[in-house]
Amino acid sequence: MKKSFLTVILSLSFVVFFSLSVFSAEFPGPDAAKIDWNQSNGQSIRVMACSRDAITYLKNIVPEFEKLTGIKVAIDDYPEAEFFRKIIIDLSSGNPVSDVFMLSHAYSTMYEAGGWLEPLEPYLENSSLTDKAWYDFEDYPAGSLSAVVINGKLYGIPIAPDNQIVFYRKDLFEEAGLLYPNNMDELYDDAVKLNNPPNHAGVVLRLARGAGTHWPWNGYIQNYGGSWLNTETKRPELDSPQVIAGTEMYLKLLKDAGPAGAVNYSWYEASSDFAQGKAAIFAGDANIFMSSFEDPSRSQVAGKVAYALLPPAPDGNNAPAAGTAWHWGMSSVSKSKEAGWLFIQWATSKDIALRLGIDTTEIMRNSIWQSETLKNKYPTVPDWIEASSATMNQFSGLYRFPRVKEFGPLADIVEALLQEMFLGQISVADGMAKAQAQTLEVMKME
């Protein structure tokens, strides 16, 4: 597949308002693109999105796109669970109101099977719509596209990542005479040593059902050489020794060094505890939490946090940590596809990506991670930049989340059994054997 990329930039009044005029010197704006931005003037599009900082930022600056193109844009965003319900209802209706929408790795295969997604490569390859040299599609890590290239067709453009990294209290490590662990066994030992209730837990992680607990857990099983599904045969491998080992470590950390009530912890409880100084290690979650941890108005640990990759398994093998991306997709029955594509280009362009990344720390493009503007904005956390960009490129060659239409039920099976195993209702080996059997049943495999 030939690759390309396109961008749109913001009007001067908003650039001044957001104090970001310096960014245009690093990446050229829409005036540098050899296309007609007014070709869909007078049209309107509706965008449905999952609420997160990147969307809040885009909603604030979308008047710039409207001024640039003459296209009216309505963006509706909802909390994650509500968004998933609404977008499936909308797309499956046969007459969706959404022209453009956020596309999760978890559901891309199901949406494609339903015929709801518009292939995007024709828009990338259309020289009247896309200046390929300026858009620079090659700037994206290959792994960020793996969930949206289905049957050889591209259905999404990355907008926001979730890269799994470790957050840890460097002050507590120093006081205890500890260095960052070399492997997962050492991570466990450090978490137990630093566990000091009721002052702080040694570690926090997600464990609540329905809170995306499968996401950080998946990074652990990969770290031990396991895989949810075989990448070639798509057959589940949940009862493999490697998956069992990774699961045992995930649960052992929480049992022996986690907070009271860990079974109910979502990303919100885990990140809140860490920000409030109630945990020594946040042992693998989305890199975007850095901005809140380093904000003294929201965090009691600002300036006390270090960032790193998940340590390798004890044998030294270190598969990619969990890494996923949200994408912009387009409805296959939209009546404003060219206008929708112009919006997607604008929202994912280098100039916008830099501005958005500086403000929200939601960064997809390699060029933004390498940007001097980013480094100057966050001079105190070079380890966060290094770990985040390394994770994003690390998972590029090995995307191990199930790319099947049954993903939702498969995630629920794992999350329900993780709780049962944590509570001692079933052993890890028996729990993963049960997960294997239930997954085979859902996927209609023998």
Alpha-carbon distance of 202 to 289, in angstroms, equals 18
**pLDDT per residue rounded down to tens, the chain (446 residues):** 433 323 322 232 233 233 333 344 689 988 899 999 999 999 999 999 999 999 999 999 999 999 999 999 999 999 988 999 999 999 999 999 999 999 988 788 889 999 999 999 999 999 999 999 999 999 998 778 888 999 999 999 999 888 899 999 999 999 999 999 999 999 999 999 999 999 999 999 999 998 889 999 999 998 898 888 887 788 899 999 999 999 999 999 999 999 999 999 999 999 999 999 999 999 999 999 999 999 999 999 999 999 999 999 987 665 556 677 899 999 999 999 999 999 999 999 999 999 999 999 999 999 999 999 999 999 999 999 999 888 877 654 444 677 777 888 999 999 999 999 999 999 999 999 999 999 999 998 87
From 182, 424, 198, 40, select the one nearest 190 (Cα to Cα): 182
pTM for the predicted model, two decimal places: 0.85
The per-residue pLDDT for 182 is 92
Q: Which two tokens stand for residue 99?
A: 């022209």
* 372-389 core/surface letters (b: 16 or more CB in 10 A; e: else): ebbeeebeebebbbebbb
| Fold match flag (44-161+324-394 vs 164-323+403-443) | yes
- Cβ contact 24:351 at 8 Å: yes
Q: What is the pLDDT of residue 12?
A: 25
Sequence-distant (6+) residues with CB within 8 A of 400 are 218, 222, 227, 228, 229, 231, 319, 320
Q: What share of the chain is helix, strand, coil (3-state, %, to 5)?
A: 45, 15, 40
CA 54 to mean position of chain CA atoms: 12
Distances (CA, A) of 72 to 27, 44, 51, 341, 355: 25, 5, 20, 13, 22
Is it true that the peptide bond before 198 is cis, omega within 30 degrees of 0?
Answer: yes
String of b and e for 332-370 (b: at least 16 CB within 10 Å)?
Answer: bebebbbbbbbbbbbbbbbbbbbbbbbbbbbbbbbbbbe
C-alpha 47/C-alpha 73 separation (Å) is 7
The neighbouring-strand residues paired with 76 are 48
Tokens representing residue 329 in the block: 């997709």
**Nearest Cα residue to 105 out of 76, 145, 75, 140:** 145
Phi-psi region of 389 (alpha: psi -120 to 50; beta: other; left: phi over 0): alpha
The SS3 assignment for 259 reads: coil
All structural domains of the chain with their residue ranges: 44-161+324-394, 164-323+403-443
Instruction: Specify whether domain 44-161+324-394 bears CATH 1.10.357.140.
Output: no
Q: Which CATH superfamily is domain 164-323+403-443 in?
A: Periplasmic binding protein-like II (3.40.190.10)
Three-state secondary structure call for residue 181: coil
pLDDT tens readout for residues 106-160: 788 889 999 999 999 999 999 999 999 999 999 998 778 888 999 999 999 999 8
User: What is the separation of C-alpha 26 from the centre of its chain, rounded to a whole number of angstroms?
Assistant: 25
